[in-house]
Amino acid sequence: MLEPDQGLRAGAIQRIQKILSAHGVASRREAERMIREGRVHINGIPALIGQSADFARDQITLDGAPLVPRGDLIYIMLNKPRGFVTTRSDERGRKTVMSLVEGLDAKVYPVGRLDINSEGLLLMTNDGQFANAVAHPSHGKVKTYEVHVRGDAAGAAKLLRAPIAIDEHIVKASEVSILERSEDGGILSISIVEGRNRQIRRMCDCCGLKVLYLKRVSIGALKLGSMRPGEWRHLTETERRSLSDT
């Protein structure tokens, strides 16, 4: 097995997970998983995470098939309904968001995640660099959620703005506002940057709230608007640029 950077040729040398991402195969995180699973080979030898290669000269394969140049880039916004998981396939046989965009000629994958019981704005693309710009916390893209809760919504709103420990990570909402109050709860608008697994639900749980309904309504300047659950459309160039900063 090659060690990282072993046997490289002159040319456009990049790390293998970046090559996979740049060719629309997957996000860098998913590309790393593919490499760990032994699905990626460079010149017939299993690739290592962090290994470099030259796409123009090295033979790179995924699942035995040569990596080919990417075609047209696709950028989609979808209103994910509840009951769908945000993966390309599911070993438990659950419905995935891929079934909602079956008419596409190009392969895309979800950017980030929304859990099966949540709905709202989900981006899908075959552009790994765009996916990274949207999903990685270092780029500071704010995600805003409409959250129907049971419990002391007013009291919890103050707690949600303070640091909360989840899985040994400190998280907090960047903005919280009360949209509506009721006798046993209310509706909150919660904005975050981190986007950890089930973060909104777990933050609310830490603050004594029971989440009844959760919908992501915006990512950065992009808003879900009146799009119905299950509907999708292509992003405009202005929308894409606002999210990718390019």
What is the distance between the alpha carbons of residues 166 and 180, in angstroms, rounded to a whole number?
27
Catalytic site residue 115? yes
Q: For residues 114 and 152, is the Cβ–Cβ distance under 8 A?
A: no
Q: For residues 16 and 47, is the Cβ–Cβ distance under 8 A?
A: yes
According to DSSP, the residues that pair with 113 across neighbouring strands are none
What is the distance between the alpha carbons of residues 129 and 112, in angstroms, rounded to a whole number?
13
Annotated catalytic residue: which of 115, 167, 184, 245?
115
Q: Is 93 exposed, middle or buried (0-12, 13-18, 19+ CB in 10 A)?
A: exposed
The residue among 202, 77, 224, 85 whose CA lies nearest residue 145 is: 224
Residue 91 is encoded by which pair of tokens?
């070993």
3-state secondary structure of 138: helix
Residue 170 is encoded by which pair of tokens?
């400190």
Catalytic residues: 115
